[in-house]
Amino acid sequence: MNSVRLITKQHPIISLIESDSTFKELKQIHSQLLLNGLHHYPHLLGQFVATVALKNPINLDYSHQVLDQCGNPTLFPLNSMIRAYSKSPTPQKSFHFFNRILQSTHNVSPDSYTFNFLVRACAQLLARETGPAVHGALIKHGFEHDPHIQSGLIFMYAELDCLSSCHRVFEEICEPDLVCQTAMISACAKHGDVGFARELFDIMTVRDPIAWNAMIAGYAQCGKSREALNLFHFMQMEGVRVDEVSMVSVLSACTHLGALDQGRWAHAYIERNKLRVTVTLGTALIDMYAKCGNMNKAMEVFWRMKEKNVYTWTSAMGGLAMNGFGEKCLELFSLMKQDGVLPNAVTFVSVLRGCTVVGLVEEGHEHFESMSRVYGIEPQLEHYGCMVDLYGRAGRLDEALNFINSMPVKPHSGAWGAFLNACRMYKNTELGELASRKIVELEAKNHGAFVALSNMYADSKNWEKVSSVRDIMKAKGVRKLPGCSVIEVDGEVHEFFVGDKSHPRYDEIEMKLAEISKRLKLSGYVAITNPVLFDIEEEEKEDALCKHSEKIAIAFGLISLKEGVPIRIVKNLRVCWDCHEVTKMISKTFNREIVMRDRNRFHHFQDGDCSCKGYW
């Protein structure tokens, strides 16, 4: 008899059990079995236990009680209980039934199904010690060559963050089947080894949608968004069925690149192919539009969704805060609570950021206090960093410092970084030195702390200390991360680095930069050159500023995009003072909306103003 699958010809009484059967109905069916004396047949009682357990996990305890009354259960119900518990919130209970198998005195021994389900339970438990023990037990019983168990072991070790063990299992398989190969691709992609994953993917003679999705997701998760999108286009050319999982990864890649055109195309693809917009897919769409700076479209998707969970609400609130719409973020938080959705820790990050961008210090403090008092959520490091940013943005530096010093946990670099940024904005060099020193104590090679401190010294024309910071950086081997800006034109992503001249249209870009410089000077522009002595001291200051990556990207946008089309840029660093002022002036002089996502937030430039109101 098969030890796991439900017997095809079930007894008529047992076949009455459905996934939505009530507890009362189960007891009535059980009573019928007893009245008809069918409980004396172990295979029928086992069938009943297995059916109850597998049809609806909410009835697992009842199955457990019935099985405990059975003196000599067959392997089938025991395996079924292991299987059901391996998928439940209490997978550790699977081992109770495994022990019953081992202790059985009626010639019941574990089979391949037993170990297949136990391996699943270990993956669910994230049991670093139990997993290898189960692996050893299945080898002892001679099941190490079973392909289902092999793929399960690869999955289990991936869940346990033991990629080296995944490789060991995979290397011992003489002829891995499609499932094992796909499991290995998923494991490597999940842990950032996309090189090996792609090598294996390329040599596969047959690839199922799971393998494609795993590879695309792996690229998206490790920041190789272009590769993710290229593979997705190849997937379509191959005629592979695209599902929700594929599109979530594609949208994630578009989000990382800030590629709004490709994100719009992905959205149109979803609608054209009538893919069901699940909560996960809808939330991914909201996140994509929000992080590409199009909050109108993000909220349109949000309001059209029939079903929303806390992540959907939080994504929309985070997008509003990031794009400078703090009041709307807080209004949405109120609506979420009215809708009966309980906030989580990430929700409060969005709420605190919403308070920060509109300077609502007291309200932000109240929300912070309510986390533990009302919702039982202990603030995490990111929440403390948000509170420091809230006080700092409002210019309340002493309160920000007091808050850091009163934190119940050791202040992290994020909190000190927010404080350093506030000191930079309000030109408090003394406190800025303290913040920079604290960051360097925590992260010896944090280039941002050195650069911010150097720029503060440059603003106050303290060139001796600027040189001192530079010398310290050289001695510690700290290098400033090169600026990089990305812009999408006609669905193609273009990448520019500071001083980059490699673009095929660079001559046109340079001519446009010269035109920009001339027109801005006529409008009264004077370069903010103080920080440049530190950043690039070998070149002329104004020329150096002109070569910052976002200015090159803006110039390219002006020569490439039609009139009236917003220029959208993603930058890997915080935008500098001069580039911020220049972008404001370009938006007015060239009558062009410019949306820039830097390391900290969005800047919406229009008609000479920026949504950040001068604080970023």
Residue 168: CA atoms inside 13 Å, Cβ hemisphere, count?
11
Closest CA to 211 of 276, 223, 234: 234
| pLDDT tens digits for range 94-139 | 999 999 999 887 788 999 999 999 999 999 998 888 999 999 999 9
pLDDT score of 42: 63
CA distance 262 to 100: 56
CA distance 497 to 479: 15
Give the CATH architecture of domain 207-307: Alpha Horseshoe (1.25)
Tokens (6 digits) for 195: 């090189």
pLDDT score of 537: 42
Kindly calculate the radius of gyration of the chain based on its CA atoms and give it in whole angstroms.
30
Sheet (strand 492-497) strand order? 492-497, 484-489, 567-571, 594-597, 602-606, 609-610
> Are residues 63 and 81 in contact, defined by beta-carbon separation less than 8 angstroms?
yes
CATH (one of 1.10.1760, 3.40.50, 1.25.40, 2.40.50) for 394-480: 1.25.40
| pLDDT tens digits for range 557-587 | 999 999 999 999 999 888 888 899 999 999 9
* For range 420-444, the mean pLDDT: 89
CB atoms within 10 A of CB 59: 21
Give the residue with greater pLDDT, 4 vs 214: 214
CA distance 74 to 353: 58
> Are residues 63 and 49 in contact, defined by beta-carbon separation less than 8 angstroms?
yes
Residue type, 275: L
DSSP 2: -
543 burial (CB, 10 Å; 0-12 / 13-18 / 19+) is middle
pLDDT score of 278: 95
> Are residues 403 and 409 in contact, defined by beta-carbon separation less than 8 angstroms?
no
What percent of the chain stands above pLDDT 70?
89
CB atoms within 10 A of CB 265: 16
pLDDT score of 13: 64
CA distance 593 to 191: 39
Return the C-alpha torsion angle 294, 300, 301, 305, nearest 10: 160
CA distance 495 to 484: 7
| pLDDT tens digits for range 316-336 | 999 999 999 999 999 999 999
CB atoms within 10 A of CB 41: 12
| pLDDT tens digits for range 12-62 | 666 666 666 676 776 776 676 666 665 555 666 667 777 766 777 777 777
| Helix, strand and coil percent figures for the chain, each rounded to 5 | 65, 5, 30
| pLDDT tens digits for range 154-207 | 999 999 999 999 999 999 999 999 999 999 999 999 998 999 999 999 999 999
DSSP-derived secondary structure for 456-519 = HHHHTT-HHHHHHHHHHHHHHT--PPPPEEEEEETTEEEEEETT---STTHHHHHHHHHHHHHH
> Are residues 360 and 326 in contact, defined by beta-carbon separation less than 8 angstroms?
yes
First to last CA, the chain: 68
Give the residue with greater pLDDT, 6 vs 76: 76
For the chain, what are the domain ranges?
207-307, 394-480, 485-610
CA distance 532 to 563: 33
Residue 229: CA atoms inside 13 Å, Cβ hemisphere, count?
22
Confidence of residue 544 (pLDDT cuts 50, 70, 90): low
Name, of 9-23, 82-96, 374-388, 480-494, the range with top average pLDDT.
374-388
Instruction: State the SS3 of 41-101.
Output: CHHHHHHHHHHHHHHCHHHHHHHHHHHHCCCCCCHHHHHHHHHHHHCCCCHHHHHHHHHHH
pLDDT higher than threshold 90 for residue 441: no
pLDDT score of 41: 57
Q: What angle do CA 482, 484, 486 make, to 5 degrees?
A: 175
Whether the CA torsion 356, 358, 359, 364 is positive or negative: it is negative
Buried b vs exposed e over 343-376: b needs ≥16 C-beta within 10 Å? beebbbbbbbbbbbbbebbebbbebbeebeeeee
Confidence of residue 542 (pLDDT cuts 50, 70, 90): very low
Q: What is the mean pLDDT of the chain?
A: 87
pLDDT higher than threshold 80 for residue 379: yes
Q: How far is CA 510 from CA 514, 517, 559, 587, in A?
A: 6, 11, 11, 19
| pLDDT tens digits for range 584-609 | 999 999 999 999 999 878 999 999 99
| pLDDT tens digits for range 466-525 | 788 788 888 888 777 788 999 999 888 899 988 778 899 999 999 999 999 999 999 888
Residue spans of alpha helices (H) in 222-293: 225-237, 244-257, 260-272, 279-291
What percent of the chain stands above pLDDT 90?
60
Domains 207-307 and 394-480 share a fold: yes
CB atoms within 10 A of CB 473: 18
276 burial (CB, 10 Å; 0-12 / 13-18 / 19+) is exposed
Confidence of residue 230 (pLDDT cuts 50, 70, 90): very high
Residue 142 φ/ψ region, left for φ over 0, alpha for ψ in the -120 to 50 degree band, beta for the rest: left
pLDDT score of 546: 62
pLDDT higher than threshold 80 for residue 143: yes
> Are residues 321 and 353 in contact, defined by beta-carbon separation less than 8 angstroms?
yes
